């Protein structure tokens, strides 16, 4: 029997097509399917802020249970799509999931106050990001982007608008560092894109 968030999922027995008995074959849910269900955000109205995406099992189940499942499925080895905060939480670099939510909310508050920034609710592993609309022009194929990352303790990276090759992420020193750097970040899309 497999569990998801404390509720048991029964094993299923498979018989032949014609009702004859077969070797008592048992099927159990795949672990990665369990993770997919754990991270799935139920459909509701469109998300306009990070808080709108915090509706899946990993956002509400006991934090230790979320970490247990993440570790059991090899998430620490980078084999699972996961929100930016989960690897940092797993490594002990974030004190709690709530602390990660505070970072998300602070970044959103900083960018929501500035014209041109758009919240994009779906990124890799279910992590949202923000795009700077005015930088989305030729020859750029990807606009200037701000995203959250477990790669460093500032948790934020800004990626310049780019044409052919991916932009190089620039680490920010938390939401206050992002706020200070925004005038420069917002000018990136108007300089030599792709060079």
Does residue 114 have a pLDDT over 90? yes
Structure confidence at residue 25 (pLDDT): 54
My answer on whether omega of the bond before 127 falls inside 30° of 0, hence cis, is no
Q: Could you state, in order of their start, the residue ranges of all structural domains in the chain?
A: 29-190
The predicted-structure confidence for 28-61, as pLDDT tens digits, reads as follows: 456 667 777 787 777 776 889 999 989 888 999 9
pTM over 0.75: yes
Does residue 11 have a pLDDT over 70? no
For 4, phi and psi rounded to 5 degrees?
A: -135, 110
Which DSSP state fits 150?
S
Does residue 96 have a pLDDT over 60? yes
The predicted-structure confidence for 57-70, as pLDDT tens digits, reads as follows: 899 999 999 999 99
Please, is 131 exposed, middle or buried when counting C-beta atoms within 10 Å of its C-beta (0-12, 13-18, 19+)? buried
| Encoded tokens for 89 | 């939480």
The predicted-structure confidence for 133-190, as pLDDT tens digits, reads as follows: 888 877 778 889 999 999 999 999 999 988 777 889 999 999 999 999 999 999 886 5
- The beta-strand segments (E) located in 71-149 are 117-120, 129-132, 145-148
pLDDT (average), residues 68-74: 89
């Amino acid at each position: 029997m497999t569990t998801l968030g404390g509720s048991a999922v029964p094993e299923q027995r498979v018989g032949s097509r014609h009702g004859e008995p077969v070797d008592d074959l048992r099927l159990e849910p795949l672990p990665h399917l369990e993770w997919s269900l754990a991270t799935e955000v139920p459909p509701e109205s469109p998300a306009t802020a990070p808080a709108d995406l915090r509706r899946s099992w990993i956002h509400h189940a006991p934090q230790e249970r979320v970490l247990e499942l993440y570790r059991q499925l090899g998430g620490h080895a980078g084999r699972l799509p996961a929100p930016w905060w989960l690897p940092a939480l797993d490594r002990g670099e974030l004190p709690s999931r709530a602390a990660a939510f505070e970072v998300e909310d602070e970044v959103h508050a900083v960018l929501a106050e500035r014209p041109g920034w758009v919240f994009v609710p779906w990124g890799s592993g279910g992590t949202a990001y923000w795009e700077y609309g005015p930088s989305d022009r030729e020859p750029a194929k990807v606009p200037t982007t701000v995203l959250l990352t477990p790669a460093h303790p500032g948790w934020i990276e800004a990626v310049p608008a780019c044409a052919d090759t991916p932009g190089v992420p620039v680490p920010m020193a938390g939401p206050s560092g992002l706020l200070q750097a925004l005038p420069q970040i917002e000018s990136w899309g108007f300089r030599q894109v792709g060079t």
